[in-house]
Chains A and B, each alone.
Chain A
Amino acid sequence: MVRLVAGREIRERIRSKAFKVSTGVSLVFILAIAILPGILSDDGPTTYDVGVFGGGAEQLAGRLPLVAELGDNLAVEVRRLADVAEGQRLVESGDLDAAVGDGQVVVKKELGDRLGFLVQEANRQVVGEAALAGAGVRGDVVGRVLMPQPLDVRALDPESKADSDREALVFFGTILLYGQLLGFGYWVASGVVEEKASRVVEILLAKAPPGQLLAGKVIGIGVVGLVQLVGFVTLGLLTAAASGSVDLPPETLAVAVQVVGWFVLGFAFYACLFAVGGALASRVEELQSTTTPLTFLAMGSFFAAITTGGDPSGPVARVATYLPFSAPMVLPIRVAAGEVSLPQVLVSVAIVLVSIVAVMTLAARVYAGGALHLRGQLKLRNALRASRHDGQPIATG
């Protein structure tokens, strides 16, 4: 019976225009997110066009490339200019980033840190060299004073590309998870209310107990959401890897499996709550008001997840781990960041599982009590009371 109901949901959902449109839109977004960084990001060095003029122009021209080598991903293209006027003209037209000479540097708006480092350091060295030479210091000494061996950088906790790639991955995973939970949860609510609005629910209830009808609906819509999520994740990762947007870190598969696993738990939880929202409304128009609290719950959880992304061991992250509505979105992030222990994850999973059982029981009762309430919005309390009077055995039969 449950399989039959679930089967109908799957067939009808996949056939629906809403599913096709939302899948299409999501695909475009996912492909854009997966491909664009690869195209837009420029991993090569930043090259500045710098013009030199006046006294010491030659020395500056020789020194600028040497200084550029000290910088991180820094390069310079040097042009010799006739005078400051030519420099101003070329900077104005955008051909040059800066023109240096006669103790001044001409830029369009501001010098900026990197360009500033480049020209100031080159200038300091040229001026210093002249001064030291004038004071009779030997050439090799001048070199050692002005261009000493750069310091060796020894990072204790180096920021690696893998780290940032993993963060990006988890972030998009969370967005995807949030979208699927909210989107497919809302489908459960609208599926419930559509059956009430079209009155078909009365025939259904004559054939099957409300608990089974509800279970079939949640499972059917959940399967569609799950398959779509797996498809999105697979496609997104493959495209991202192929386009070189991110180097997939070794734990990619683990993160993906977790996101999918938390979808199953999160969906079971949210779907039952959304079913309650659907059972309390009798027309699609009333869904807005009966599901608003859930939408806020999901949004709050999403923001908790974003906060967790920035601070995986902060107070928000720690509290959200143990709340059934936020755990599904927060846990994948914390696990990826290595900020939770296995026992903590298990406790969180247990809390979510217990909550699922509780909301399922609630949803089945409200659904049973509200299913034949075909006019007007229903109060939760009245739906529960009605289920006590008219409710059928909720589970099997």
Chain B
Amino acid sequence: MLELNGLTKRYGDVVALDGLSMKVPPGRIHGFVGRNGAGKTTAMRITLGLASADAGEVQWKGRPVTIGDRRGFGYMPEERGLYPKMTALDQIVYFARLSGMGGAKARTEATAILDSIGLGERIGEPVERLSLGNQQRCQLAAALVASPELLVLDEPFSGLDPVGVDALAGVLRTQLDRGTAVMYSSHQLDLVERLSDEITIIDKGRVVASGPVAAVRGSRGVDQLRVALESGGTAWAENLSGAKVVGHDGDEVVLELLPGGDDQAVLDAARQAGRVRTFRREAPSLTELFREVVSA
């Protein structure tokens, strides 16, 4: 298990992290969400030893993380980087060996991982001659090759098309099944919501919400009602006594119950206006929650 305990980091007057704590157990995937500059990359760099915390510490398996532990972690930095003139295979073999693997094993593993992510045909080509998508795959292979127990991925989905997103999600699921702990950051909140076991939302270096996705979504204790009429009309929802409109999503009206409000009364009001096609009570989406907590 990875534990970040009270990490604090300042760059001059800028507070990058202000007592950040979070945990990533093995076999779980932890989404890391926050605005640009919220401190996600700094937290990841401290985890990898690329920066040092002014206060707090990183623990791995219950004790302070060592250089040896870190060699075994898989890392995909936000600023992607590979040796442009080295072949994909040589490159991944090199990273495997830097992680502590022997020469022959590194070669076998590198070939296998490149094969599994669909680079099998092109492993002998210099990276600079690969397409952007394939370079991205190679980057992922660099993070995965040493069979890491912890994967730290900074914006792994940025720049991927929907097919690429699904492929990466598949790769991550395989890693989780082997018991890898995964920590990743993303701005694609619907994706984070779908993919993560747990999430941490940070703002200005501080945790503003953290826990299992459902718990975080329900953390405000206020549910939303989503109602759509077959006619598509929405005027009925204005001026209800027990709920207020907070938004529209397609032809759905999104309402929030006011204190003492009754969802059945809202349903009755909707049925008065026409045939109801959708009526759903749910916690606010991550996107809505995020907007609310980081702008608070």
A interface residue numbers (CB < 8 A to B): 1, 4, 8, 11-12, 16, 194-195, 198-209, 372, 374, 389-392, 397
Q: B81 on the interface (CB 8 Å rule)?
A: yes
Q: Is the CB of A1 within 8 A of B79?
A: no
Q: Is the CB of B51 within 8 A of A390?
A: yes
Q: Tell me the residues in window 63-111 of chain B with beta carbons closer than 8 Å to chain A beta carbons.
A: 67, 70-71, 73, 75, 77, 79-86, 90, 94-95, 97-99
Q: B270 on the interface (CB 8 Å rule)?
A: no
Specify which chain B residues have a CB less than 8 angstroms from the CB of A16 in the assembled complex.
85
Instruction: Show 27 A/B contacts (Cβ-Cβ < 8 Å), sorted by A.
Output: A12-B83, A12-B85, A12-B86, A194-B83, A199-B79, A199-B81, A200-B81, A200-B82, A201-B81, A202-B81, A203-B95, A205-B48, A205-B49, A205-B50, A206-B50, A206-B70, A206-B73, A206-B75, A207-B71, A208-B71, A209-B67, A372-B45, A374-B79, A389-B52, A390-B50, A391-B52, A392-B49
- C-alpha gap A391/B77 in the complex (Å): 19
Most-contacted residue by chain B among A8, A202, A207 (CB, 10 A):
A207
Q: B229 on the interface (CB 8 Å rule)?
A: no
Q: Identify 14 new A-B residue pairs, CB closer than 8 A, beyond the known A392-B49, A392-B67.
A: A195-B83, A198-B82, A198-B83, A199-B77, A200-B83, A201-B81, A203-B95, A203-B142, A204-B98, A206-B73, A206-B75, A207-B99, A208-B98, A390-B51
- C-alpha gap A391/B98 in the complex (Å): 20
Q: Contact partner of B77 among A4, A203, A208, CB < 8 A? A: A203
Q: Is the CB of B75 within 8 A of A397?
A: no
Interface SS majority for chain B = loop
Specify which chain A residues have a CB less than 8 angstroms from the CB of B45 in the assembled complex.
372
Specify which chain A residues have a CB less than 8 angstroms from the CB of B83 in the assembled complex.
12, 194-195, 198, 200
Specify which chain B residues have a CB less than 8 angstroms from the CB of A209 in the assembled complex.
67
- C-alpha gap A262/B125 in the complex (Å): 39
Residue of A nearest to B154 (CB): A202
Specify which chain A residues have a CB less than 8 angstroms from the CB of B84 in the assembled complex.
198
The minimal Cβ–Cβ distance linking B16 to chain A, given in whole angstroms, is: 12
Specify which chain B residues have a CB less than 8 angstroms from the CB of A194 in the assembled complex.
83
Interface SS majority for chain A = helix
Specify which chain A residues have a CB less than 8 angstroms from the CB of B81 in the assembled complex.
198-203
B interface residue numbers (CB < 8 A to A): 45, 48-52, 67, 70-71, 73, 75, 77, 79-86, 90, 94-95, 97-99, 142
Specify which chain B residues have a CB less than 8 angstroms from the CB of A391 in the assembled complex.
52
Residue of A nearest to B73 (CB): A206
Q: Is the CB of A207 within 8 A of B50?
A: no
Q: Is the CB of B52 within 8 A of A207?
A: no
Specify which chain B residues have a CB less than 8 angstroms from the CB of A11 in the assembled complex.
90
Q: Is the CB of A207 within 8 A of B79?
A: no
- C-alpha gap A200/B98 in the complex (Å): 13
Most-contacted residue by chain A among B51, B82, B90, B98 (CB, 10 A):
B98
Residue of B nearest to A205 (CB): B50
- C-alpha gap A209/B79 in the complex (Å): 19
Specify which chain B residues have a CB less than 8 angstroms from the CB of A390 in the assembled complex.
50-52
Most-contacted residue by chain A among B50, B71, B84, B97 (CB, 10 A):
B50
Most-contacted residue by chain A among B48, B70, B85, B94 (CB, 10 A):
B94
- C-alpha gap A12/B126 in the complex (Å): 12
A4-B97, A204-B98, A206-B49 are contacts. A397–B67 as well, Cβ < 8 Å?
yes
Specify which chain A residues have a CB less than 8 angstroms from the CB of B73 in the assembled complex.
206
Specify which chain A residues have a CB less than 8 angstroms from the CB of B51 in the assembled complex.
372, 390
The minimal Cβ–Cβ distance linking A203 to chain B, given in whole angstroms, is: 6
The minimal Cβ–Cβ distance linking A219 to chain B, given in whole angstroms, is: 16
Q: Is the CB of A199 within 8 A of B48?
A: no
- C-alpha gap A206/B49 in the complex (Å): 6
